[in-house]
Chains A and B, each alone.
Chain A
């Protein structure tokens, strides 16, 4: 009992006796971080080695930047890097405004029942794995039997199937549209909660000044959610080098490899499938470092613009 008295709590030696339970709680999670997050960080040194599986990372020969020089010269790496940036850029340009517009539309809906129903349906794709969505996409966009091509052919709108997944640029368009579709509903949540946070008196004042619905949206709603828009935009720009593995892996196919291969899938092929661990690690490290620079830069820009940073 007495050990809990404040006077002893503040004493120089009492802190561990007082808080040992907190440290005991931290043991497992800290062990997790050290074993599964920090230990692999040491493993990046094999990016600078000619890694030999039998000698391990402490016995392999050091080659300095040889792996980096090698991958920079690979045309496959250039395709993967270009596709990563290009697909992320397309996703940002096509996908970023959609949840904003959709959130405003949902907010303006007067029928509460229809609004709830719409939200339930719109959030659905977020809960499914990219394997399931990919399977559906391959099914629906398939050349002859897929719903879209079959319908368009039947209605006589096209003479031959559109190669949604088998020609490069079409594949990239399909990839982008599917991504926008999958994320649009879920993306509205933060905007909707930001809209709820706008002071209702601002709308009242705008109405009294004779503003119509569009003017209210333009002059009250949009400025009200501006901080959310800016932070999310900056976050996405900071993520330009990162690309998920599941989506390009399931949607891609060998016919459009030059258009669908991205850094994550390229690392998988080089490292896991072809066992060039050192080169694949070098690609990953390059990606991590550029990613870290991008996100730090994005945060800096955000603060300079007077918005909340992410840190």
Chain B
């Protein structure tokens, strides 16, 4: 019903004028920019599936030339790759679970105006957005706590994002107060209000924040580079980084007058194959989760 009313109210462009000249130009420009976001992947995927000689000739563009699965065989033959994948999934799940618990526990009390010291707690959180100890004091702190070279160094330090907490807080504040008041009259305490009213009503926001945290952790690399030496605890991004930097060093050595053919043959299709290997999990979930992200950004813009 309301949809029909809306359509009646909205100004309708005269029919048959959809594809005017400027409209075509505009659409083409936007589509070209959009394709620029897709084609690099296709190129990298094509290179990862091509033979070394075709890559070295520069023949590969958007379709594999002389189809060759050697790189993928090499990745799966190396047990450290699946291990790293499993490790990355584990820390992402653990980190996301802890993060969500802390975010909810911080956001809920801050929505209660009656809470004494509310401004103090808000300030405690907000100040960290504008000032931090910096890379080295944070590193030394991790070291003092004995977390260096343990999986905890990848999970604990960034657990609570103040930005995400504010998003959740402003969502909580916007929930209708009547349900909560009714529950309190029925004798519910804050734990019960949070679990039975706030959380069920904010599933969409919670899903959005879960994704923010999960993708952030999946993509994070700096913490692993700083804190992890043990090969068993290398997440996928760090492994990929080491492979890329290794082959870059080879390339540079080759350019400075080495035997380029020998040097490059080691890595030329392993690197793109690893990139695809690390990207696929994201590409698989991306189409389904994209809209939650967009929602999260617009909620975040309305500051609490």
Contacts and interface: CB of A to CB of B under 8 A. Distances in A.
A287 B135 CA distance: 11
Interface stretch (A71-79, A88-96, A106-114, A218-226): A106-114
B204 to A, nearest CB: 16
B149 to A, nearest CB: 13
Contacts of B37: 121-122, 124-125, 181, 185
B178 interface: no
Contacts of A200: 10-11
Contacts, number: 275
B33 interface: yes
A264 B240 contact: no
B interface residue count range (under 10 / 10 to 19 / 20 to 34 / 35 or more): 35 or more
Contacts of B264: 145
B252 interface: yes
Nearest to B105: A25
Contacts of A272: 135-136, 139, 226
A281 B105 contact: no
A102 B141 contact: no
A55 interface: no
Nearest to B35: A121
B294 A135 contact: no
B135 A284 contact: yes
**Interface SS of chain B:** helix
A206 to B, nearest CB: 11
Interface string B37-71: 11011011001000000011011110000000000
Interface string A108-132: 1111001101101111110111111
A106 B29 CA distance: 10
A305 interface: no
A264 B35 CA distance: 32
Contacts of A145: 55-56, 58, 264, 268
A22 B112 contact: yes
Contacts of A250: 241, 244
Contacts of B132: 37, 40-41, 288
B181 to A, nearest CB: 11
A122 B31 CA distance: 9
A4 B192 CA distance: 14
Interface string A134-151: 111111101111110111
A184 interface: yes
Contact of A110 (B23, B106, B226): B23
Given A105-B30, A121-B37, A139-B272, A28 B255 contact: no
A300 interface: no
A30 interface: yes
B262 to A, nearest CB: 15
Interface string B89-124: 000000000000111011011001011100001001
Given A123-B294, A125-B37, A281-B134, A134 B244 contact: yes
B297 interface: yes
A234 interface: no
B202 interface: no
Contacts of B36: 181
A268 B134 contact: no
B201 to A, nearest CB: 18
Contacts of A159: none
B33 A102 contact: yes
Question: Looking at A108, A117, A135, A193, which has the most chain B CB atoms within 10 Å of its CB?
Answer: A135
A140 B40 contact: yes
Contacts of B272: 135, 139
Nearest to A125: B37
Contacts of A135: 44, 240, 244, 271-272, 274-275
B237 interface: yes
B134 A287 contact: yes
A15 B116 contact: yes
Nearest to A277: B136
B200 to A, nearest CB: 18
Interface in A251-289: 253-255, 264, 267-268, 271-272, 277, 280-281, 284-285, 287-288
Interface of A: 1, 4, 9, 15-16, 19, 21-23, 25-26, 28-30, 32-33, 35-44, 46, 57, 102, 105-106, 108-111, 114-115, 117-118, 120-125, 127-132, 134-140, 142-147, 149-151, 153-154, 166, 181, 184-186, 189-190, 193, 200, 203-204, 207, 213, 245-246, 249-250, 253-255, 264, 267-268, 271-272, 277, 280-281, 284-285, 287-288, 292, 295, 310
5 contacts: A32-B160, A40-B140, A139-B271, A189-B297, A292-B131
Given A33-B125, A36-B141, 20 more contacts: A19-B112, A26-B121, A29-B105, A30-B121, A42-B133, A44-B133, A118-B33, A123-B294, A124-B37, A124-B38, A131-B237, A138-B248, A145-B268, A147-B60, A150-B61, A166-B252, A255-B252, A268-B225, A272-B139, A280-B136
